[in-house]
Structure 1
Amino acid sequence: MGQIQVEKNAGGIEGLCVITPTVHGDSRGYFMETYNQKDMEEAGLTMQFVQDNQSASSKGVLRGLHFQKQYPQGKLVRVIKGCVFDVAVDLRENSQTYGKWFGVELSEENKKQFYIPEGFAHGFLVLSDTAEFCYKCTDFYHPNDEGGLAWNDPEIGIVWPKLTGSYNGTPSGDGYSLDDGTKLLLSDKDQLWKGLKDTFHFA
């Protein structure tokens, strides 16, 4: 019996999948399968994973939007502590939904997973005090292969929840904060990415 429910083509974007596991719980706690190759294959998800990663971030941290140029990675992502808003942007040149985005809240409470295939940019915003983020990858990480897009590119138009501020023409986080006053935190690198049209000339 399968232990997952899969919402395919989430947000109308081919390939994106939101996966909800079956949780077996009682007064003592809970148990769930976080990955089962047979169940994934029965759901039509036949990718193979070669690397697992984990990160920790504080509230207000926004990571992204990242992609790999020559060695694209499919990613199966989930949150084991806290809550994030996770986003994928379609960068497949011939896709009917090129440049479109979809976001989903991932948390330790809802235990949802999000599969983002190769050819997408990915990022997330931490909504809880801290968040621990885990993901499986279909290819190894190549440190010199990373690209990125401005998280606030108005052409993409991501609506980040609980985030307030006005676009000032740059990807800087200056002037942005969560609704409780927590300032938006970005890495130096993530404040330098350009928008879709300036990154991909066929856009």
Structure 2
Amino acid sequence: MKATSTSIPDVLVIEPKVFGDARGFFFESFNQKAFDEAVGRHVDFVQDNHSRSAKGVLRGLHYQMQQAQGKLVRVVSGAVFDVAVDIRRSSPTFGRWVGVELTDANHKQLWVPAGFAHGFLVLSETADFLYKTTDYYAPMHERCIRWDDASIGIDWPDIGVAPTLSAKDAVGASLATAELYP
């Protein structure tokens, strides 16, 4: 496994070693020991999630104030533009974002530690998105920041259609008014 820091050092792009031939390919999608070495500490995952979305669906920017979740995310079918936003007020990268294209062809994964808001935009006709979390989903603690908050300035790819949002994502808070981490 290869781990590469992004412009926000706590967020890592994880690239598994892929073994391929005329029959197809094989790779370890997760290896606890290698992952812990990559992030520099032991990380326990407690839940795996799978979502399927159509082109133009934008999910996020989500986080939980209690039971904060670290997420290891990947795409097994299709393509997404995946984003992490640092919402830790005490961080030197507070308010900054990083985005990575995750596809079924590039096999990249993104490690989004607790303390970040997370979201993604589907670029392909459909996408199957898998992610491991470090704490359980707790809807009463979930928060959402607007995907298009100008103070964050995420440069979402232009896919030729307006994003499709859930009702809760359409009314997300601005970074200035959101409940954030210390």
Interval containing the TM-score (normalised by the shorter chain): over 0.9
Structure 1 position 201, deviation (Å): 8.1
**Cα separation, 2, equivalents of 1:38 and 1:79:** 22
Change in Cα spacing, 1:202 to 1:35, as seen in structure 2 (3 Å) is closer
* Residue matched to 1:198: 177
Change in Cα spacing, 1:81 to 1:196, as seen in structure 2 (3 Å) is same
Which stretches of structure 1, 4 residues or longer, exceed 4 Å deviation after superposition? 200-203
Q: What is the SS of the residue equivalent to 1:199?
A: coil
Q: What is the SS of the residue equivalent to 1:144?
A: helix
**Cα separation, 2, equivalents of 1:57 and 1:88:** 19
* Residue matched to 2:121: 125
* Residue matched to 2:79: 83
* Residue matched to 1:165: none
**Cα separation, 2, equivalents of 1:16 and 1:201:** 18
Query: Which has the bigger relative contact order, CA under 8 A and spacing at least 6?
Result: 2
CA shift digits 1:129-182 (9 cap, x unpaired): 0000000000011121100101000000000012xxxxxxxxxxxxxxx22xx3
* Residue matched to 2:150: 154
Q: Normalized against structure 2, the TM-score is what?
A: 0.95
**Cα separation, 1, equivalents of 2:85 and 2:174:** 12
Aligned residue type for 1:7: T
Structure 1 position 93, deviation (Å): 1.6
- Kindly report the root-mean-square deviation, in angstroms, between the aligned alpha carbons of the 2 structures: 1.5
* 1:98-117 aligned within 5 A: 98-117=94-113
* Residue matched to 2:131: 135
Instruction: Figure out how many residues of one structure are paired with residues of the other and give that number.
Output: 181
How high is the sequence identity, in percent, across the aligned residues? 52
Contiguous gaps of at least 5 residues in structure 2: none
Is 1:5 matched with 2:14?
Answer: no
Bigger radius of gyration among the two = 1
Change in Cα spacing, 1:202 to 1:112, as seen in structure 2 (3 Å) is closer
**Cα separation, 2, equivalents of 1:126 and 1:103:** 13
Contiguous gaps of at least 5 residues in structure 1: 163-177
Aligned residue type for 2:25: Y
Structure 1 position 202, deviation (Å): 9.6
User: Which residue, out of 7, 11, 15, partners 1:16?
Assistant: 11
Structure 1 position 45, deviation (Å): 4.5
Residue 115 of structure 2 contacts residue 181 of structure 2 at CA under 8 Å; is this kept in 1? no
**Cα separation, 2, equivalents of 1:113 and 1:202:** 24
